[in-house]
Chain A
């Protein structure tokens, strides 16, 4: 067996320690070592975006990072978004407007939408389409995904204004 490296990271709020082979990709670590199989692998050339997760607050393709690079980082995967059985606004928007069919691209799309809305809370359709160009979907033609991102933006804005008012 190859040499391993000890890493410690926080995944979805839980601290995890593990010994990993230096060449292990973050996506494989999440899926195989932690059993977080919601993060998917759709390619081996970093194009499809099915593997998107948040590392240190930035959404990245977890097939482009080694697990050791996430040492000491805060990682959020699709499994970490819903709170107390409540979908988060992006998940909910995807559900509301049928922005998923087979569901395989969905975790990556939801994570990418979070990143997009973090940078541009009120995106135009063109900005949405541009912001999602790193994520492939073969099922939806992106039509309802664009609608879902719009809807999520509205919901998040509402939540902000309620929070501000409260």
Chain B
């Protein structure tokens, strides 16, 4: 039989996308469908004095105008966060503002009309009288005394204060350290910008009192749970959530958004389907943003460069409201990652989560781990610079050794497996490091400024052991489900709680099934994204689909195989333990010529004329897989940049990435994940900035102002991998969806700072746009030739 695991099988989902037959939420139309346009406040902070909807309602074609008060009167609840921390403030987050708006773009009314154009016209007729209030957009400014309050219940705008690690131990290490370095770092705010804007379509069936929501979601069951039980207050089984083809998520489609609440409410109230699709300019101000940290970091080392301790203080800007993962991203997905792949004696990380008058900040590709990696890898470079050591060798000497696993870090995590040097070596070889440094030195003499930057990252993904995350404040488990249903003809349907929005599960998961049941991939269909079909599952984010979702599938397949072997043994009059499966046949060991094919067994299981005593008919199995630990992918990324000292322009010349995510189910898909991840992280380093001015006005509100990486901003990437399996899941796999982003921002930043070394520049905040770099060069010392 053909072995599919490890093969670059072309994706089964692609023909529909390539021919325009994909079905995304906005592609759906239903009879009598009405359309919504949101009225969004242009102000960062204001009291709503009055909303006059009369003129909008009179506009021909308008069906209804919904205000926040109407939702409150209908007992529509606030959208809750899914993760709590000690003493956290969780002010309500209503779908439509009632008396105060707290960020530009917040919804103040929703206009529903016969067409989108009419709804948008009429939205301009909704008259809102505001009383302007002072606003604050920067985390540190919100903490300053006298700063405008975002929520009355959050004193000094503090949402939470959280810390991890042993502060006294860190102080002791710093006291005896030979070298210490210190940096203030900003991790810039990003807009997620999946190319498919968010969209939601709700339908109400009066006869059964049931709602269906088609929405751009990475996790339809979480949507159903939260929207039904917590927001609408309806039984969970009265809401079906379908997430059809989804055009990228990157975290931004995890959360439950106000627009989803509005279409659900409106569909039921009006008894007609209601659709909303974001305009990109709405996406910019209403999708949850990412990052936005201000940090102070100190690193201590001995005189040889062995790191001893790390001290971090971070102000995390949470925006105006807490969304689903808002509290966990800058805490448990950040502070716990400060150890990287190194041997630290002590680490302390203190985070203050702060409300500001800006859009909510939540998970964005990497979610906390890119922020931690950026900080740690910048600090490692700063230390190398201070000690006059090679940055690659400084990292190497600090690596945790391969025989030290499982490895307990000072910040709670226990690493499952790792072998860091081979990845570094492979990257150095690919790059030809020695020659690259020589070229750098030679070009510098010609007045050209090359920089080489490393990121020997480590990340924790595959969310997550349920009891562990429960003890850390998660209001949910983080296991995953798989249901394998074999039909009488031997065709197989798999229902997975994981969700693909570009990751290719329909292919990769089918590879696993085809191998395990020794059937052609064509006989397998992978179903996801519909709460009416799939058992409860937690969806896809945090690089969990392979490590948790595919592990659940593997376990369910084991059950199918066991039952099939039992049936085969009975038919072959053998003991089940004597039956094996080879060449697509179940047969007695050593007697392959007298076997039963998998489809024979499937048929017998359903005919049930001759099953072993006591065996149930049918061939179907469900498994709920709860991982024992996170998985810990790692690797070495190296960026080579050139900075033009005249213009400040940074060109990314080469990008080498060696990643280890255990065995690859489909190397082609895994590499694609790495490519996209790198581009995302490079985008943050060089181009992207979701910038608010001090008054809370968003100044990067369209693709005209917000620079996305384009094809001509990037080189071809040089990709390779090493394989260190995870010891604790049945496939040995680790996640690969976010590693590129986690690693690349730091690698590019280190390369840019390396290039700017001759100007006396030891740090610069992102993004490294021509203007920012040029200014830094002007402000820095003259280059020493």
Instruction: Please report A residues at the B interface, Cβ cutoff 8 Å.
Output: 1, 21, 23, 31-32, 35-45, 47-48, 50, 77-79, 81-82, 87, 91, 94-96, 98, 100-107, 110, 125-126, 128-130, 132-133, 135-146
Chain B hits for A39, CB < 8 A:
20
Kindly report which residue of chain B lies nearest to residue A23, judged by CB atoms.
B117
From known contacts A102-B246, A104-B195, A133-B712, infer whether A79 and B20 are also in contact, taking CB-CB under 8 Å: yes
Contact yes or no, A144 B672, CB < 8 A = yes
- For residue B279, CB closer than 8 A to chain A, the reply is yes
Q: Which 3 A-B pairs have the closest CB atoms?
A: A38-B20, A104-B247, A103-B17
For B11, list chain A residues within 8 Å (CB). 95, 98
Q: Which of B240-294 contact A (CB under 8 A)?
A: 245-248, 250, 277, 279-281
Shortest distance from the beta carbon of A103 to any chain B beta carbon, whole Å: 3
B193, closest chain A residue (CB)? A138
Q: Can you identify 6 A-B contacts, CB atoms within 8 angstroms?
A: A38-B21, A39-B20, A78-B18, A101-B672, A102-B196, A140-B675
Measured between beta carbons, the chain A residues less than 8 angstroms from B247 are: 40, 102-105
B280 and A44 contact, CB distance less than 8 A: yes
Complexed CA–CA distance, A132 and B711 (Å): 6
With A23-B117, A101-B676 given, is the CB distance from A82 to B246 under 8 Å? no
Contacts of A32 in B (CB 8 A): 29
- Is there an interface contact between A138 and B676, defined as CB atoms closer than 8 Å? yes
Given contact pairs A40-B196, A78-B20, A136 touches B708 in the complex (Cβ within 8 A): yes
CB distance from B721 to the nearest CB of A (A): 15
Q: Is the CB of B675 within 8 A of A48?
A: no
| Docked-complex contact B14 and A42, CB < 8 angstroms | no
Of all chain A residues, the one with the shortest Cβ separation from B197 is: A42
With contacts A139-B676, A145-B711 known, is A101 near B19, CB below 8 A?
no
Say whether B18 contacts A101, CB under 8 Å.
no
A-side binding surface: helix, strand, loop or mixed?
loop
The reply to whether A142 and B18 form a contact with Cβ atoms under 8 Å apart is: no
Does B603 sit within 8 A of A, measured CB to CB? no
Query: Does A40 lie within 8 Å of B703, measured CB to CB?
Result: no
Question: B433 at the A/B interface (Cβ < 8 Å)?
Answer: no
What residues of B have a CB within 8 angstroms of the CB of A143 in the complex?
672, 675, 679, 714, 716-717
Decide if B759 is an interface residue (CB 8 Å cutoff): no
Would you call B734 an interface residue if the criterion is a C-beta within 8 Å of the partner chain's C-beta atoms? no
- Give chain B nearest CB distance to A90 CB in angstroms: 9
Of B162-170, B412-420, B497-505, B541-549, the one with at least 4 CB within 8 A of chain A: B497-505
1/0 per residue B338-366: CB within 8 Å of A?
00000000000000000000000000000
A19 to chain B minimum Cβ distance, whole angstroms, is 14
Q: How far is the CB of B187 from chain A (nearest CB, A)?
A: 20
Scan B1-40; emit 1 where CB is below 8 A from any A CB, else 0: 0000000101101111111111110110100000000000
CB distance from B683 to the nearest CB of A (A): 9
Nearest-CB distance from B510 to chain A (Å)?
16
Q: Does B656 interact with chain A (Cβ within 8 Å)?
A: no
Interface pair A138/B250, CB less than 8 Å apart: yes
In the assembled complex, how far is the CB of residue B667 from the closest CB belonging to chain A, in whole angstroms?
A: 10
B248 with A102: CB separation less than 8 A: yes
Which residues does chain B contribute within 8 Å of A138, judged by CB atoms?
193-195, 248, 250, 676, 679-680, 708
Residue-by-residue, is B650-691 near A (CB-CB < 8 Å gives 1, otherwise 0)?
000000000000000000110111011111100000000000
Let me know if B504 and A101 touch, CB within 8 A.
yes
Interface residue? B466 (CB, 8 A): no
Chain B positions 222 through 248: 1 when the CB is less than 8 Å from some CB of chain A, otherwise 0: 000000000000000000000001111
A106 touches B280 (CB 8 A): no
- B710: interface (CB < 8 Å): yes
Provide the bound-state CA to CA distance between A126 and B740, in Å: 23
Q: How far is the CB of A10 from chain B (nearest CB, A)?
A: 17
A91 lies within 8 A of B676 (CB): no
Chain B neighbourhood of A100, CB < 8 A: 14, 17-18
Q: A42-B196, A45-B704 are in contact. List 19 more A-B contacts (CB 8 A).
A: A1-B60, A37-B27, A38-B21, A41-B197, A45-B703, A95-B14, A96-B10, A98-B11, A101-B248, A101-B504, A101-B676, A103-B16, A104-B196, A133-B712, A138-B248, A138-B250, A141-B714, A142-B714, A144-B672
**Complex formed: what's the CA distance from A141 to B250 in Å?**
13
B702 at the interface (CB under 8 A from A): yes
A141 with B675: CB separation less than 8 A: yes
Using known A-B contacts A39-B20, A136-B708, A141-B714, determine if residue A102 contacts B502 with beta carbons closer than 8 Å: yes
In the complex the two chains form, is B248's CB within 8 Å of A104's CB? yes
